[in-house]
Amino acid sequence: MSEHGIYGFAGRVLFADLDSGSHRTEALNREWCEESLGGFGMNLRLYESLAQPGCDPLSADSRLILGAGPLVGTLAPGASRVMATARFPLTGAVASACGGMGLGAQIKWAGYDHLVIRGRATQPSYLLVEDRGVRVIAAPELWGRDTHETTAELWSRHPGSSVACIGQAGENQVCSALAIIDMSSTLGRGGLGAVMGAKLLKAIVVRGSGGVAVADPDRFMQAVDGLHRRLRSWPRRERALQLGMMASYPGLEPAYLSVKRGRAACPSCFVGDKDVLGLPGEPPSSFTTSCTSYLNAMLLGLLLDLDLREQVLILDLLDRLGLCFISFMNMALFLRDLAAHGLLQPGDLELPDMSGAQALDGFRFLANLAWGIALKQGAGTVLAAGWRAALAHFGPEAERFAITVKGQDCLYDPRVSGLGTMEFEQVVSPRGPTSASSGSPTYSPGTPLPDFPRHAARMGATPEAVERICAGGDLNVGRLTRYSEDWFSLFSSLGICNRAQNNRFYNIEVISELFSAGTGMQAGPRDLMDRAAASWELYRALNRREGFSEADDRAPAQWFREDEVWRRAGRMEDYFHRRAVTAAEMDRLLEDYRDERSR
C-alpha cells in the first residue's frame, strides 16, 4: 500500500514549475481514482481542473501531464503504458498519447502516479524525478543533440533511469515532433515534442527504487498466471516472439529477418514488440538502432523505393530527430504527388544540402527533407508548421493530395484495408487520426463476422450492443467503434498496452479481476466499462471546450474517389470488401456511432 493508503497507486501527484525550478506534491484524489481508474482518465481530470480553454500549446502556461495507471509497475503482462496529455499544436486538440518502455514504471517506482509540468525553463534543461528528490537541471550542452545521443548521455549520468527526450524537431517546435522513450518508443504524435521544446525541456528523466503494493497478492497473481498460461498455449506464440508486428506480414519475413538484430520488451511484457535493427549483410558492431517497429520503415520503403539499408537508416534518422514517422511519410508522398501534377513552384524543394531539382524519392531526398523539417529550413519550414500551413502555402489544388482529418494526416486508408474501426475512428477521434481503436477485431484483416460477437463481448459490449453491432448479418463499424474507444480508454487508464500481441489475451473479466485484486476497489466488468466510457466522454468534452464539434468529424473527400493511393487504384469498401461505402453510408455510420455513444 502507498503511504496514502491506496493499493496499486503510488498515491501522489508531482507538480513541477519550470519557471522557478520548484516543485510540490499533492495526495492523489481517491474519489477520482475510483471514478477515472487512473492513467488516461486521471490525466483528463487533472487537465480539466488545471488548464484554461484556448491556452496556446506552446506557451509557458500550457500543461503537460504524464500519468501511469494502477497496474503499471506490477507484474500484469504488458502493463507499462505511460499517458501524456496536453493541448497539441498540430491540431489544437487536447490529446492523450501513449508510450511504452520504462517511463511509466519508473514514475510509479519513484513514488508518483502523475507528473504535471508547466512553465518555461530559463535555459535548456531536463527534469529529473527520483525517489530521493526532484530537480530541474540546466543542460544547454544537450540542446542540438539527437534523441539517441541525449538518452545515452542521460543514462550515463543517471544509471537505471528511463528517459523521454526530444530531438532537433522538438527543439525547433515542429508541429509533427514527438518524444522518444528509451530510444525505442514514440510518444506524442501531433506535437508533444514541440510542447516540450517550447518549455526548453529537453528531457524527462525518472528513476525509482520503490515498488507497487497490491491489495490481494495471491488473487492478483492467479490472474497474472492465467494470462501466462493463455500465452503458452497460443499456437502463434513462437512466431510472435520472433517477428513481433511483422508476424502479420508473412510475405515480408525475409526482408525483416535480414535486418533484425534482436527484440526488446517493455517491463512486464510477455511478448516483446520493439525491434533492434541493423544493416543487411553487416555485423551488429557496424550499426544497430532500436525502434518501435520495423513496419513503418517497410511501408516507406515500399512507397518510395528504398532498399533495406535505406529503410533502416531513414527510420533511425527520424527517431533521432524526433519526427513522427507517419506524418513524415505522408508529407514526402504529398510533395511527390504535387510534383507529378505540376503544382510545385521553383524553390519549393529547396532543402539543406540540395541544389536544384531532385528526384522526389530515394534516400537522399528523404534525408534532406527530414533535416529541412526538423531545422525549419527551406521547404521544410512550411511542412514544419503542419498540414493547414502547407495547404495554405501550396493552394487549393493541393488539398486532394493531403488526406487529413482535423488538421492531422490519416494513418489508415479504407480504400486499401476496408472500413474497420481503425479507419473509422480516425474521423471521430477527439485528437485526430490515431490508433486508439487498434484493439478491436478489425485490426486483423479477414476476421469472419461470426467471430465479432465474441470479440465485442470480450471488449465489454453488452449483449444488446452486440446485437446492434452485428444486426442484419452485417458489421456496423460505427457502433463497434464506441466499444473500441472505451476499450482503449480502459487499457490506457489502467496502463495496459493495447497492441494486438498483448491485447488479444485480455478480456473484461480478467481486467476486472486484476483491478479489484490490485487496488482493493471492487469493480465488476460493467462498472469498469462505464467508468472507461465516462473518461472518453470527458475527452470529447474537453475538445468541445476547445471549439471542436460534430461538424469536424468529416471523412476525407478522397476516400470517396477512386484515386491512386498506396500505389493501387480503388474505392472505399466495407471491412469485408463486399461493397462500396458511399458518403451517405458514412453519414449513417456517424449517426449510429453517436447513438451508441449516447447509450
- Cα–Cα–Cα angle for 14, 18, 24, rounded to 5 degrees: 30
Per-residue pLDDT, 360? 57
- Cα–Cα–Cα angle for 142, 147, 151, rounded to 5 degrees: 75
Residues 291-328 have pLDDT tens digits of 988 988 888 888 888 999 999 999 999 999 999 999 99
Mean pLDDT of all residues in 212-230:
96
CATH number of the domain at 12-207, out of 3.40.50.300, 3.60.9.10, 2.40.33.20, 3.50.50.60?
3.60.9.10
**Alpha helices (H) along 89-167:** 103-109, 147-157
CA dihedral 365, 370, 374, 378 (to 10 degrees): 20
Per-residue pLDDT, 217? 97
Mean pLDDT of all residues in 337-352:
81
What band does 424 get if pLDDT is binned at 50, 70 and 90? very high
Per-residue pLDDT, 359? 53
Range name among 28-32, 245-249, 379-383 with the lowest pLDDT average = 245-249
> What residues does each domain of the chain span?
12-207, 235-322, 325-385, 408-504+524-597
Residues 523-536 have pLDDT tens digits of 999 999 999 999 99
Give strand pairing partners of 205: 128, 163
* Burial (0-12, 13-18, 19+ Cβ within 10 Å), 567: exposed
Q: Tell me if residue 226 falls in helix, strand or coil.
A: helix
Grid cell, residue 90, equals 498540430
Per-residue pLDDT, 422? 92
Give the span between the Cα atoms of 434 and 566, in whole angstroms.
19
Q: How many CA atoms lie within 13 A of 368 on its CB side?
A: 19
Residues 6+ apart with CB under 8 A from 538: 41, 44, 45, 48
Top-confidence residue, 426 or 359:
426
Beta strand segments in 322-442, E: 404-405, 408-409
Grid cell, residue 484, equals 473500441
Range name among 235-239, 308-312, 357-361, 585-589 with the lowest pLDDT average = 357-361
Q: Tell me if residue 206 falls in helix, strand or coil.
A: strand
CATH class of 408-504+524-597: mainly alpha
- Amino acid, res. 147: T
What band does 357 get if pLDDT is binned at 50, 70 and 90? very low
CB 113 within 8 A of CB 566: no
Q: Considering all CA atoms of the chain, what is the largest pairwise distance in Å, rounded to the nearest integer? A: 69
Range name among 109-113, 198-202, 224-228, 347-351 with the lowest pLDDT average = 347-351
Residues in the chain: 599
Mean pLDDT of all residues in 506-515:
96
What band does 353 get if pLDDT is binned at 50, 70 and 90? low
Residues 93-146 have pLDDT tens digits of 999 999 999 999 999 999 999 999 999 999 999 999 999 899 999 999 999 999
CB 9 within 8 A of CB 113: yes
Per-residue pLDDT, 356? 42
What band does 272 get if pLDDT is binned at 50, 70 and 90? confident
% of the chain exceeding 90 in pLDDT:
76
CB 396 within 8 A of CB 550: no
Top-confidence residue, 42 or 444:
42
Please state, rounded to an integer, the average pLDDT across all residues of the chain: 92
Beta strand segments in 499-589, E: 564-565, 568-569
